[in-house]
Amino acid sequence: MHTFMTHASGRARTVRALFGGAALLALGACSKDELLTVEDPDVATPQSVSDVSVLPTLRASVISDLQVAMGAGGENGVITLGGLLADEFIWAETFPTRFEMDVRGTNPINGTLDGIYQSLQRARATAERVERTYARLQPTNPARAEVQALAGYTYVMLAEMYCNGIPLSTFDVDAGTQELGDPVSNQVLYQRAVAKFDSALALIGTPATPTADQARILNLTRVGRGRALLNLGRFADAAAAVAAVPTNYRYTLFHSENTGRQNNGVFLPTQNFPRFSVGDREGINGLPYFTDGATDPRVFSPRGSGIAFFPRVGADNLTQMNVQTKYMNRSAIVVFADGVEARLIEAENQQRTGGDYLATLNTLRANLPTLITNANLPAAFNPPPIAPLPALTRPAAAAAEVDQVFKERAYWLFLTGHRLGDLRRLIRQYGRNSEAVFPTGTFHKGGAYGVDVNYPVPFIETNNSKFVACTDRNA
């Protein structure tokens, strides 16, 4: 649960105390000062979170804010909105803000855009503040490296989601001061992410026999570093960064039924309430997730039948629902980083250098039963068998090899917040035209797609006197 609570409840108790105090004054003589001095025990002050004993709670707050940025507790997060601008989801409801996102024409004055941007920036700020607290109170604790690595991931996701020119402001809670950030390019964000990951690796060091906790954090950091380097076009360095990550490694974000904030934010708008339907060759260029899902359990997204949590049509009462089955309830985990991603990074580098990338991809496919996370689906859904996938064969053209690598990335990393960044890389690093990559042509509810390949920094950022608008909207 998030550590820092709202002051609203404290203010409410203060008001009640004031009214209660007035009644007591009418009954007898007492000190006004004593009556107006009210304890506020459930609001975390800077002083109350400055002791070693609260470090585990602060670490939990970092993970909680990251979960919210990914989508926990609501319908808008990196996974859903990244998938909506890319080709994983199509708009199956009536909210105009998310219509703008799916149709590739998001206005900076967009309330939905505000929420995810603030969540990602908050996750970054929380991780960086908590890391500084660890540095002051317990600098050798491995959790310090973990929160620093998670801060690095927020830099990566900001750069994958948004245009060039993102400000990174800071606020010193203890001093009550803020420093407004200058807009920086995605390239700089990826470079800063690598620096975060390097610092995290340095904190852990190179233990001859790492503990389970050290290994967990080392591999989290290695995968994040590889992801940032891949975005920088440093393919060989990215492959080297993840080489030591075991294929069966997973860093997961847990969710629960306990509170709305802890609910899985992909289940909510797909099965609990039908806002997003899985795409199937969306806008000419989209991958056939629904079609291939009939035989590929990685992207199994059957047509809804109308039974509970299996809606037939979207909230618009019009769009056919292809229902994702990766997250089947409010407590479904999200795989945030894993060894499969490490192998996919290596395969991409192998393809670029003439190596045997197919062997890497086919080994993953052969081991699907041990690697997939959504293996226990209701029989009523008629899921495909959880079995090794057929081996891929090498196509004749290099461009088709790239397509093969990116399709495998899309299916293994389906609905984990990677697809938008990959589509942008196809433009930026492989020279593809945006209209040969992103959904284009006639929109499924009429009209035409726009030209966005990323999200704009929302208008609320203009409160920062150093920011006016995106530097550019390039991939």
DSSP string, 387-441: -PPPPP---SSHHHHHHHHHHHHHHHTTTTT-HHHHHHHHHHTT---GGGTS--S
Bridge pairing between strands 177-179 and 170-172:
antiparallel
Looking at residue 178, what is its pLDDT?
87
Residues 6+ apart with CB under 8 A from 284: 439, 440, 441
Q: Which of 180, 197, 186 is nearest to 161 (CA)?
A: 186
> How many C-beta neighbours within 10 Å does residue 466 have?
12
Q: Is 389 exposed, middle or buried (0-12, 13-18, 19+ CB in 10 A)?
A: buried
Question: Which residues on adjacent β-strands are paired with residue 178?
Answer: 171
Domain ranges of the chain: 8-42, 56-257+329-463
CA distance 14 to 37: 9
CA distance 118 to 75: 14
User: Which phi and psi angles does 38 have, rounded to 5°?
Assistant: -115, 130
CA distance 96 to 207: 53
Asked if CATH classification 3.20.20.80 holds for the domain at 56-257+329-463, the reply, yes or no, is no
Burial 394-404 (b: 16+ CB within 10 A, else e): eeeeeeebbbb
CB 185 within 8 Å of CB 164: yes
Looking at residue 309, what is its pLDDT?
86
CB 281 within 8 Å of CB 288: yes
CA distance 269 to 264: 10
Q: Is 68 exposed, middle or buried (0-12, 13-18, 19+ CB in 10 A)?
A: buried
Q: Which residue has the tokens 């690796």?
A: 201
Looking at residue 35, what is its pLDDT?
52
Looking at residue 32, what is its pLDDT?
55
Name the token pair of 361.
């991809």
Name the token pair of 339.
């060894």
Looking at residue 183, what is its pLDDT?
97
CA distance 240 to 133: 31
What's the Cα-to-Cα distance from 324 to each of 34, 134, 389, 430, rounded to whole Å? 58, 39, 20, 30
Half-sphere exposure at residue 325, Cβ-oriented, CA atoms within 13 angstroms: 27
Looking at residue 171, what is its pLDDT?
82
> Which residue positions in the chain have pLDDT lower than 70?
1-49
How far from chain centre, in Å, is Cα 276? Answer: 17
What's the Cα-to-Cα distance from 198 to each of 50, 195, 203, rounded to whole Å? 26, 5, 9
Question: 3-class DSSP state for residue 354?
Answer: coil
CB 266 within 8 Å of CB 324: yes
